[in-house]
Amino acid sequence: EAGVAQSPRYKIIEKRQSVAFWCNPISGHATLYWYQQILGQGPKLLIQFQNNGVVDDSQLPKDRFSAERLKGVDSTLKIQPAKLEDSAVYLCASSLDRGRHYEQYFGPGTRLTVT
Amino acid sequence: AQSVTQLDSHVSVSEGTPVLLRCNYSSSYSPSLFWYVQHPNKGLQLLLKYTSAATLVKGINGFEAEFKKSETSFHLTKPSAHMSDAAEYFCVVNGNQGGKLIFGQGTELSVKP
């Protein structure tokens, strides 16, 4: 079974530039998550999708971050414009369905450096 | 609100000796608890999970954890450390019924030969 795929694996940009990350979840998984992991900290949920609808985006800085999951499969996370504090690893995860008993499977992450 | 505190940011053990990684949680309802491991430049992998069944949970690679409600703890243990166990470990609680995970700050485990 193929895992969660993310690209790119690494990205370096200057502040005020824009960047986009892509995630392909495990086939058949209805729930998709984006987490931000700042160096030395645990991951923090940015946004959760159920199929192509947003379930939780309470921690997403909506003035600069946006995300979509068209057709309920792949998802993109965009930052525009980027700030220095956005330097982090962005993790995508998916689960079969929404709920506390469903295991989340994580992708390898995209490491973003903003200079 | 739900939260997790990992009591040690770094633990160092010798190969073949026991491992103890400590975690306390706070939850307003009966929680689900997890331990994830993250090797350098790799994704997060689930080690084990507690979801209100047996309080002693066995996971992969010889790890286990015990849920103690009276102490609000969920410590991770392994009888004998292996070099390949060196990694970052995260204690995690479910943030709500919908699947949101709340991660601790992480504990870096070093294993000396």
* B18-37 per-position pLDDT tens digit: 999 999 999 877 888 999 99
By Cβ distance, the residue of A41, A45, A98 closest to B101 is A45
Distances (CA, A) of A72 to A12, A50, A67, B34: 29, 8, 12, 27
Q: What is the pLDDT of residue A26?
A: 96
Mean pLDDT along residues A42-56: 94
Length reported for chain A = 115
By Cβ distance, the residue of B90, B94, B99 closest to A48 is B99
Name residues 25-64 of chain B within 8 A of A (Cβ). Answer: 32, 36, 41-46, 49, 51
Q: What is the pLDDT of residue A1?
A: 65
Mean pLDDT along residues A77-90: 97
Using the beta-carbon criterion (under 8 Å), do B103 and A42 form an inter-chain contact?
Answer: yes
What is chain A's mean pLDDT, rounded?
94
Cβ neighbours of A59 in B, within 8 Å: none
Q: What is the pLDDT of residue B99?
A: 78
Q: Are A2 and A88 in contact (CB under 8 A)?
A: no
Q: What is the pLDDT of residue B100?
A: 84
The Cα of A32 is separated from the nearest Cα of chain B by a number of Å equal to 10
By Cβ distance, the residue of B4, B42, B105 closest to A41 is B105
Mean pLDDT along residues A29-48: 95
Q: What is the pLDDT of residue B1?
A: 78
Mean pLDDT along residues A19-33: 96
By Cβ distance, the residue of B43, B51, B95 closest to A106 is B43
Q: What is the pLDDT of residue A66?
A: 97
Tokens linked to B71: 């102490």
Rounded to whole angstroms, how far apart are CA atoms B88 and B110?
Answer: 9
Q: What is the pLDDT of residue B113?
A: 95
Using the beta-carbon criterion (under 8 Å), do A108 and B42 form an inter-chain contact?
Answer: yes
Q: What is the pLDDT of residue B109?
A: 98
> Could you tell me the pLDDT band of residue A70, with boundaries at 50, 70 and 90?
confident
Give exposure, B26-59, as e/b (b: 16+ Cβ within 10 Å).
ebeeebbbbbbbbeeeebbebbbbbeeeeeebeb
Mean pLDDT along residues B33-54: 89
Q: What is the pLDDT of residue A102?
A: 84
Q: What is the pLDDT of residue B35?
A: 97
Mean pLDDT along residues A24-37: 96
Q: Decide which of B76 and B99 is more confident.
A: B76
Q: Evaluate the omega torsion of the peptide bond into residue A8 and state whether it is cis, within 30 degrees of 0.
A: yes
- C-alpha closest to that of A41 among A85, A95, A94: A85
- C-alpha closest to that of B92 among A4, A43, A94: A43
Distances (CA, A) of B82 to A78, A94, B86, B106, B113: 40, 30, 8, 19, 9
CB contact B84 to A (< 8 Å): no
